[in-house]
Every structure is written in structure tokens, then in C-alpha cells.
A and B are shown apart, each in its own frame.
Chain A
Amino acid sequence: MTEVPRPPDFPPASLRAEALESLLVERGLVDPSVVDGLIRTYEQDVGPLNGARIVARAWTDPKYKQRLLADGTSAVAEFGFKGPQGEHIVVVENTPTDHHVVVCTLCSCYPWPLLGLPPSWYKDPAYRSRIVREPRTLLAELGLELADEVEIHVHDSSSEVRYFVLPARPVGTETLTEEELVPLVSRDAMVGVARVAVPSLPG
């Protein structure tokens, strides 16, 4: 029988992380302020707001949208978005007839410069296993019901190419400005597991 490869009193992750830090810091191999800086960057600065700005621009500037779909990497670099896990960006567009959704079945590759670090559901074995096999069922379970005639396109991020979904602009947002559109664009819509919700506009 398979044995659990650890003793019952194996120290928990929290303690092992502290141990690793103390070992590396005492030998001068790591500067704690560098680690803290990395953490702060992804906790505070790099997140889905970056992607939302791209989407709002593409919705309001047809020439930008054209550039974004033709060469995602340089179009997002116009905003200064680049760096780890963003070496090459391919943008796919969701429309009323075609729905794109992104996964990484082998680990959890994700376009960090545009969306930050991946959420738990994206890293969940249930998502990684099922979205490449029964996407329509899984998307419905996540609250996104797609009509039978909508074609589903799944993208498995197996190379260093990172996929970014340009969601469909919701009906009823025609009068909104780029700045007003930004907060409507959700992280989940930019991975392809949600639509951008129609805002309740003041009558």
C-alpha cells in the first residue's frame, strides 16, 4: 500500500516557510526586503485591473482592438504591461457566437502582467482536469450558461505563450466612457469563465 511520505509530526508549511527563510537569510543568500518586494508587487500592484484597462481600451478604440488581436504582446506593452509570465501574449475575442476559455492543465500558467497571480479555482484539479473535457458542463456549474449554438474554444497554456480573453462588451454600456468601463471588467471574464455583467444603470 502507498505510504504517506511524511512522518505524522512533519512540520506544517507555515513553519517550513519560516525555516527556509531563516536558512537562506542567515547565509546571506536572500535579502528579505527583495522577497517582501516581490510579494508586495503581486499583492498590490499587478492584478486584474491591468487586464481591465486593456479591455476597456479595446472596447472604445477600434484601432487599439485591432492591434491587440494582431499582436497582443506589443499592444499590452503600450500600457507598460510586461514581465514574468508575459513573454508572449495572444488575445482571443469572445463574441455572441464564439466563446474562448483558458486553462493550464500541467501547472497553472497564467498571464501575470495582465491578471496578477491565479485564483484558487484556476489551480484546482477540478478545473484543470475538466475544462479540457467537458467545458460546457463546467462553465455552467460556474454560472456561465452558454447556448448550444455558441462554439467553445479551450486554450491549454502549455508553452510560454499566455492567452488573454477579450470579453464581449455588454449591451447597455454604449454610453459609458473607457474609465467607466474599467471597473465592470472582471478577472473571471478575462479567463473566459464569466461574462462581463450588465451594469444596472440609473434610469
Chain B
Amino acid sequence: MDGIHDMGGMHGWGATTIEPNEPVFHATWEAKAFGFGALSARLSGTNLDAMRHAIDRQHPYIYLVDGYYGRWLACVETLLTDSGVLAPGAVEARARRLRGEDVEEPGIPETAKPDYKPTGPGSLRPLDTRPRFEIGQRVRAKTMSPRGHTRLPRYVRGHTGTVILHQPPHVLPDTNAHFLGENVQQVFAVRFASTELWGEGAERFDLTIDMYDNYLEPAP
């Protein structure tokens, strides 16, 4: 989806700074959000791609204002609600009760976990077909704009680059996030010139990004 999460190349963010001696977590709730996030795919009967998609789906305001671990927290709630482990609004109601408000809590819903079983651990899988593109071959990132999950960022779509490495085959996030099949496929590291992505006035550098077979077509 073309969401707020797809930040590559956006203007307007200003500077960033490196916090010296930064703690791993800045507050106890961040640590808890991480812990529950790490368990969320298992608790909801989903997977890592569905988890990323649950983060991408947060409202842009929430995505930005809540920060990284706030997004994890929201994502856990989204996954558990989608899977019928928690009722919509259950977390908010419990939080309000914890601070003494007299609110009614929703009941426990009917479980609605996806009909889904991974064929192996993690995201890498064997594949016995030859890679469609050779190292050194010119390829173009497709112009596509799916409403669902994808790992093809906007800033490379329609641009032409060079395959520099064959990465191991992966499950395809675009379908796996929606439990529509693993669609195991070759992943290619593709290098783009900065001027191809950003025009003649761009800083000179190159950018390498891993592209699933589905995202690529032969260069015109």
C-alpha cells in the first residue's frame, strides 16, 4: 500500500541526531511493546509480513506520533483484533479501567485466526528454478501500486537498474501478508544510479535494494 511508512526520498523531515549512550528502551512500555510485538505473530496465528502490514496500516497520524514502539503496540492490537483474540476497543477499555474510569469492557470475541500454516520457519525457502535475471542484467522495477502489502517502495517504481547479486529465494510478502500463499521466488539485489532515481541534479551515489521477482521486468 502507498502508506506513510514508505518514506524513501520524502522531503521535509529536517535533521536527525545521534543520541549518545542511548538506552535500548526509553521506557518500560516500549520494552513491553517490543516483547508483545515479538510474540504477536504467534499469538494471532499470522506471520512477519502480516505484522509489517499491520504497522503500515496504522493511520498516518498514529504512525508518526506514536513512534517506533508505539507502532508496535498498535500493530499487536490490530493483529489480535483481526484474529478475534481481542475485541475492538478492548485495550482502550481496559486502559481506561486501569486509570479508574467506569467503562464497560467488550466481551471475548470469536476467534478468527487466518487459515494459514507456513511451510517452514522464517522467510527463506528453497527454490529449484533458475533465476530469471542474470547478474549484470538490466531490469526495471514495475510500476505497480497494490492496495495490500508490498516491499516495493514508490521511489524505485518504473526505474531501471542492474542486478548485482542473487539473494536467497524468499516467500513473497505481498501474498504471504494476506495468507494468499507463500509464492516462493528469487530475490535480486538491484543497483540504481542516483540520477536514475532522482534526476540529473542528484547527489552522485548508487543505491542497492532487494527486489522480489514479481517486482521486476526486463529493462526496455
Contact = CB atoms under 8 A, between A and B. Distances in A.
7 contacts: A11-B96, A14-B29, A21-B36, A87-B123, A119-B19, A161-B189, A161-B210
Contacts of B175: none
Contact of A107 (B55, B124, B189): B55
B210 A159 contact: yes
A152 interface: yes
Interface string A110-142: 000000110111011111111011111110011
Interface in A9-34: 10-11, 13-24, 27, 29-30, 34
Contact of A133 (B86, B95, B198): B198
Interface string A160-178: 1100000000000000000
Given A126-B14, A130-B13, A161-B167, A106 B153 contact: yes
B129 interface: no
Interface in B41-98: 43, 52, 55-56, 59, 61-62, 64, 66-70, 73, 76-77, 85-86, 90-98
A18 B36 contact: no
Contact of A120 (B22, B38, B197): B22
B66 A13 contact: yes
Contacts of B77: 16, 20
Given A15-B95, A133-B203, 4 more contacts: A16-B91, A136-B203, A160-B123, A193-B18
A96 B2 CA distance: 38
A97 to B, nearest CB: 13
Contact of A23 (B55, B91, B122, B198): B91
Contact of A158 (B32, B55, B69, B153): B153
Q: How large is the interface on A (under 10, 10 to 19, 20 to 34, 35 or more residues)?
A: 35 or more
Of the candidates B31, B167, B205, the one having the most CB atoms from chain A within 10 angstroms of its own CB is B205
A13 B212 CA distance: 35
A50 interface: no
Interface stretch (A36-44, A55-63, A195-203): A36-44
A57 to B, nearest CB: 23
Of the candidates B29, B67, B86, B204, the one having the most CB atoms from chain A within 10 angstroms of its own CB is B29
A18 B85 contact: no
A126 B16 CA distance: 6
A94 interface: no
B108 interface: yes
Nearest to B198: A133
Given A121-B17, A141-B15, A18 B29 contact: yes
A107 B67 CA distance: 11
B9 interface: yes
B10 A129 contact: yes
A121 B27 contact: no
Nearest to B121: A87
A23 to B, nearest CB: 6
A53 B36 CA distance: 30
B183 to A, nearest CB: 14
A34 B11 CA distance: 41
Given A15-B99, A157-B210, A105 B92 contact: no
A105 B210 CA distance: 12
A156 B36 contact: no
A157 B122 CA distance: 16
A39 B15 contact: no
Given A156-B208, A156-B209, A39 B34 contact: yes
Contacts of B19: 119-121
